[in-house]
Amino acid sequence: MSRFEGKRVFLTGAASGVGKATHALFREEGAEVVAVDVQEAPDVIRLDITDTAAVVDLVTGSGPFDVVLNVAGIVRVEHTLDVTMELWDRQIAVNLTAPFAIIQAALPGLIERKGNIVNVGSIAGVRGQAYSAAYCASKGGIVMLTKGLALEYARRGVRINSVCPGGVWTPLVEGVAAIMPKDLNERLMQRTYNVLPPGFADPSEIAEAIAYLASDAARSVTGAAFMIDGGIDS
């Protein structure tokens, strides 16, 4: 039997990159997936997850769920002195506030169904990454949100984990690379490259890790920050 046969899954960031790979994998494994993204894509509901009222209405109206996957995220690489408060707020909103709102809305159903949550963090959430202070703050928040919730809800049968990728080559990363400043310190930037060749993971690798944590094979795992960083933090 497929790992997620008969399971109901809520997924953000489903239109591209890691979210798209995760969407495909969970559907292949038998899950019924309610997938959202700010971009249009087949079998994906177009929704800005920073619209808290709309996303909470969708979660509560289409639930309950067995699995919640917070994959959507944004990142910018630039000098901190050039970061506007609007850009700071947007990264915190997408990467941290929206996952919290989704989790809060989904928790009653997850408790009822003894479900689980997987949040996508980042290596930038556990170690410093230059020119990405807002991203580091948001992903560090996700890692600690995961750990705090995991402790709070363990005795109620809900597992909550995070995956923390290093470099993953996605349309998001490709777009960021195209617009980042040209005068960044190369030595500092090299700290973000995976040690294992070719330097970037494929989105399917992260999707597989998400699926493991969401599956019964990880029934003894909660509060984890599962590193998939190609040796960056070794």
HSE value, Cβ hemisphere, 13 Å, CA-based, for 12: 30
CB 95 within 8 Å of CB 73: yes
- How many other C-beta atoms are found inside a 10 Å radius of the C-beta of residue 185? 10
Quote the CA–CA distance of 15 and 72 in Å, as a whole number. 9
Any residues with CB less than 8 A from the CB of 89 and at least 6 apart, and which? Answer: none
Give the sheet arrangement for strand 67-70, strand by strand.
45-46, 32-37, 8-12, 67-70, 116-120, 159-165, 225-228
| Residue 51 in this model has a pLDDT that exceeds 80 | yes
* pLDDT number for residue 203: 96
Residue of 135, 153, 193, 212 with catalytic role: 135
Quote the CA–CA distance of 49 and 27 in Å, as a whole number. 22
Tell me the DSSP string of 164-185.
EES-B--HHHHHHHHHS-TT--
Residue 3 lies in a domain: no
Average pLDDT over residues 48-61: 98
| Residue 150 in this model has a pLDDT that exceeds 80 | yes
Least confident of 74-88, 128-142, 162-176, 208-222: 162-176
For residue 138, the domain's CATH number is 3.40.50.720
The DSSP bridge partners found for residue 161 are 118
The total number of structural domains in the chain stands at 1
DSSP H or E run through 35:
strand 32-37
Quote the CA–CA distance of 230 and 182 in Å, as a whole number. 25
- Residue 142 structure tokens: 């996700």
* pLDDT number for residue 198: 79
Any residues with CB less than 8 A from the CB of 122 and at least 6 apart, and which? Answer: 73, 135, 139, 142, 164, 165
Can you give the length of the chain in residues? Answer: 234
Quote the CA–CA distance of 97 and 138 in Å, as a whole number. 9
- Residue 50 structure tokens: 């920073």
Residue 72 lies in a domain: yes
Over residues 62-106, the pLDDT tens digits come to 999 999 999 999 999 999 999 999 999 999 999 999 999 999 999
Residue 1 lies in a domain: no
Q: What is the domain range of residue 76?
A: 8-228
Reported confidence tier of residue 1, pLDDT bands at 50, 70, 90: low
Residue 234 lies in a domain: no
Is position 153 annotated as part of the catalytic site? no
Unique residue bearing structure tokens 């008969």: 6
Omega of the bond leading into 198 within 30 degrees of 0 (cis): yes
Strands 8-12, 67-70: pairing kind:
parallel
73 phi/psi in degrees, rounded to 5 = -165, 160
- Residue 115 structure tokens: 């479900």
Average pLDDT over residues 206-211: 98
